[in-house]
Structure 1
């Protein structure tokens, strides 16, 4: 039977099938070796992701036939150089990674250890995490193999993200734009690739420790399908593939659900506009297209409702706008201004030019209309809840890159002579590089070179982070450990800035030790999200920063502010504590260790809670 089956398979397909069978057999054999088994199992998610990308590239003929080998070499050089540059950047840091800077690194260490030691339990943990956690472990799955193989350091973590999420997206997007613009010359390939690589918004979250760039891959794949297929002619395979990618995007990070909602909204509005303004587009065509995407939506909802009901209910019913209100900094116009300033006026002008060119050009009109509408919908929905942090801008990265490339393509092709075109392309690329260097290279002279013109660049700058008070923080942590070791005494940190907070102390010795002070409670940083910390009353030692340290508006962190003030001023609550020792940190901040001198009675505890009852009288969950 196998011989008959193989005889029906021709040429390359036959070779690939044989290689696949040999590979599976070897995999099963090596799986029996105890030492190799966890590595092989961790290899599967990575292999699955890369296989999906490669199949879509092949299915939609994205790889150009012209100069293909040169392009492959170019991608190899890109991978090598980018790995060296990112490794060099992280190596120059002398920093304690805390909060979001370390949260994903910490989760990756914990989950990969579980995956390697108890595969069955790890699979269960993935499912439980999807159902219950805003920041689940899904993005960790594909990077585990490289992360574990390379030692589990912060450098390993960042490079794993670079090689499995950022670089594949850059390659996929470059191939997508090469096909869209029909670029055959190797010189054109180089200009396009460098223009995409030097987009700072791609790397900023990566260098800050975020792994949310997994969503860029799914978005890139969705754009490939959207551009290369007529919407009314979507096959069952296309519908299933779109549904899978949209579900994977939403599950990878909860806030990517805004992109999914924006996608369906934009498709519907774009189809209505086609019906209204294109005479040859008939109502039956409209119904056929809408029905295709209706099937996609229904399939997504059914899969989520049946298999991920907890995720679906939580996403729809949770009051995120209240829980994350502390992270909404300013009004809509201020947030929009922040979006522009983050990317820079230089990019935004080219993005705007690209959008105008896209919607007026027949070839790019539909996808430009969809992406433009979707960006507006995403912005409106997201800003109802909170402001954008740097990783949230990934919601716009693929869209902005698309319009940026369109803008550059339009400007360069306004000219007739190829030599002048090349000169203009070099000038644009030079400005792009100056923006990139201004964002990541502290010794960059781009600002000096352009003088006042440097304001056109993005305002987000990330240089290797170095703090000079790590010895003092080490002494503080050692002192608190000495006070609490082999006792039931607990510590609570009343400070919430990048200079001092509980997570800085906790992550002081990563990756060797994930918790440098086991006796320390988790601090409640955001009042409306975290509520009142009863742990303060249970703690023998309170660590307070002087001056009081916030990372948000003081009115959103009143627990930190009011109780710290009480201790520093020794009022009714504070007089129950005395200072044991203080440590000098950066920016003339002192960390003061207070010890409780007397047991807190009900009256004192009531006094502290009364300080917050007026502010949070309408929040029944604040004291729970």
Structure 2
């Protein structure tokens, strides 16, 4: 304990905390500017969704504030991708514009940096019994280490605002674990339930964090009550009642504020709808998938740190809670689908606390000053190397040498080399549109070509065009989207060779089956004529355009419906062909 106090004192007080915050803010903004300015691409799907909503909301709030607020409330009540995460970013749009760089900087400064600071406060509170009163060593060490976690950054740099959820998560942990559950008053319990509701309102999939909150709470507080009171049943009863108050507050708030979404969520089998996004087949596949993203050092360090917190007397309640919750989230989520970049924020709070605990533990327990600095410096260096190899193309040599320890997946700035060719494709389609106006459907669904890429390149590319709204939104995933009825109204088809998928072809038959008939010229494909010319995109993807010359035959449409119903029996409502 004396060694911990001396080490903490040597790190400084308020001045060190302020200096750490200023340094992190400066470096974070410089890194964000560097990363975004390296990109040359067309953003699409989730990478563009909230950015475009940020653009729209910034403009509409300034022009029609009352109507826009009404739309925002309706969105919060109904939509899976609602507008609430964008709202706090709007002032940045008013001051600095709605380009990609201001948007990512807004996420960094309004969500990501506060998330780091809240986690710093959590660790400062967690280790406060073992440090001098005016020491901010745990805070400083946390603020120094968490920005080096590359997975904290990846989704934010890709345009996801989902890191916003880490802020209320930190608030929930600070609020709830400040007192034993059996001793908490009604105000604290209600506030915890409301923060849990806010978490789900911000991004719907944080419901997994909320669901895992309650079994982890039962284990952590149950063990704590047993250690303090033994078999006396009254504290257990009080704690159980208080947990019910938290749960009822959360449920009633969510039902009251987002009734349509809540009812839909209860009735929806998400594991079926999103089964196409489940590639891993075993627990080891899921763990290996995360190891490719995080690197084994971060996973092991986070797990060891949480285990240490769980056995340490002063921190065992929160440590055991986070350990149980992390395992519960992992088990529940992987039953539905694989983790995507944004879903990593379900795991980040627990792993971040564990990693920060390792750094704080090394600093506080090393008696020798040289060994203390060396051990913490080594840990921070490994974290930094993980970020450097993940984000910097020039660090491939380092990554290869340390591939066992560091993340193997890369998250370099997005660069396309075919933007000029996309412009040529759009110019050709524009010429066709001028001669014979009609809707356009894209039979491709990959990172190289899909309907959203073509639409965004048309609408927001180097030369915005007037026909962009004729590019139809496509059906990409069978069980989620069903048969693309909008395909039937298209005059022009944009196809790709080889066929472009972003999931398994068997889960994207709405692409493959239609493409087979169009390219083969049989069935519904007999109604289309391939036009002269082709365009070569990145990865040697060849794009061709088809013109619809005759109506579809009813027999061909019936054959198509029969084929899809054969693939997906009992889902006639999804695959009926009008």
In structure 2, do the counterparts of structure 1 residues 555 and 514 end up closer, same or farther at CA, with 3 Å as the change threshold? farther
Greater mean alpha carbon deviation, residues 527-536 or residues 119-128: 119-128
Residue 301 of structure 2, aligned match among 347, 350, 360: 350
Q: How far apart in 2 are the matches of 1:78 and 1:132? A: 37
Q: How far apart in 1 are the matches of 2:225 and 2:180? A: 15
Does structure 2 retain, via aligned residues, the 8 Å contact 1:480–1:517? no
1:111-169 CA deviation, whole Å, 9 max, x = no partner?
22222222222222122112221111110111111123211001111110001000011
Report the Cα offset of residue 255 of structure 1: 0.6
What 5-or-longer segments of structure 1 have no aligned partner? Answer: 1-64
Q: How far apart in 2 are the matches of 1:407 and 1:66? A: 19
Does structure 1 retain, via aligned residues, the 8 Å contact 2:535–2:542? yes
Q: Which residue of 1 aligns with 2:185?
A: 235
Q: Which residue of 1 aligns with 2:270?
A: 320
For 2:394, what is the secondary structure of its paired residue?
Answer: coil
In structure 2, do the counterparts of structure 1 residues 501 and 397 end up closer, same or farther at CA, with 3 Å as the change threshold? same
TM-score normalised according to structure 2 size: 0.91
Residue 422 of structure 1, aligned match among 348, 352, 373: 373
- Tell me how many residue pairs correspond in the alignment: 559
Q: Which residue of 2 aligns with 1:448?
A: 397
Q: Which residue of 2 aligns with 1:24?
A: none
Q: Which residue of 2 aligns with 1:73?
A: 19
Does structure 1 retain, via aligned residues, the 8 Å contact 2:78–2:258? no
1:310-369 CA deviation, whole Å, 9 max, x = no partner?
222122111212211111112241223212332111111212221221121111111111
For 2:547, what is the secondary structure of its paired residue?
Answer: strand
Q: Which residue of 1 aligns with 2:542?
A: 590
In structure 2, do the counterparts of structure 1 residues 241 and 387 end up closer, same or farther at CA, with 3 Å as the change threshold? same
1:615 has 2:567 as partner: yes
Report the Cα offset of residue 277 of structure 1: 5.4
1:7-36 CA deviation, whole Å, 9 max, x = no partner?
xxxxxxxxxxxxxxxxxxxxxxxxxxxxxx
1:464 has 2:413 as partner: yes
In structure 2, do the counterparts of structure 1 residues 457 and 514 end up closer, same or farther at CA, with 3 Å as the change threshold? farther
Does structure 2 retain, via aligned residues, the 8 Å contact 1:477–1:517? no
Relative CO higher for 1 or 2, CA cutoff 8 Å, sep ≥ 6? 2
For 1:228, what is the secondary structure of its paired residue?
Answer: coil
What 5-or-longer segments of structure 2 have no aligned partner? Answer: 1-10
1:520 has 2:466 as partner: no
Greater mean alpha carbon deviation, residues 205-214 or residues 337-346: 337-346
TM-score normalised according to structure 1 size: 0.85
Does structure 2 retain, via aligned residues, the 8 Å contact 1:577–1:597? yes
Q: How far apart in 2 are the matches of 1:476 and 1:551? A: 21
Does structure 1 retain, via aligned residues, the 8 Å contact 2:78–2:261? yes
1:605 has 2:557 as partner: yes
Q: How far apart in 2 are the matches of 1:168 and 1:281? A: 42
Once the two structures are superposed, the pairs formed by residues 358-437 of structure 1 within 5 Å of their partners are 358-437=309-388
In structure 2, do the counterparts of structure 1 residues 188 and 381 end up closer, same or farther at CA, with 3 Å as the change threshold? closer
For 1:545, what is the secondary structure of its paired residue?
Answer: strand
Q: How far apart in 1 are the matches of 2:466 and 2:48? A: 12
Q: Which residue of 2 aligns with 1:533?
A: 484
1:170 has 2:116 as partner: yes
1:341 has 2:268 as partner: no
Q: How far apart in 1 are the matches of 2:168 and 2:220? A: 21
For 1:138, what is the secondary structure of its paired residue?
Answer: coil
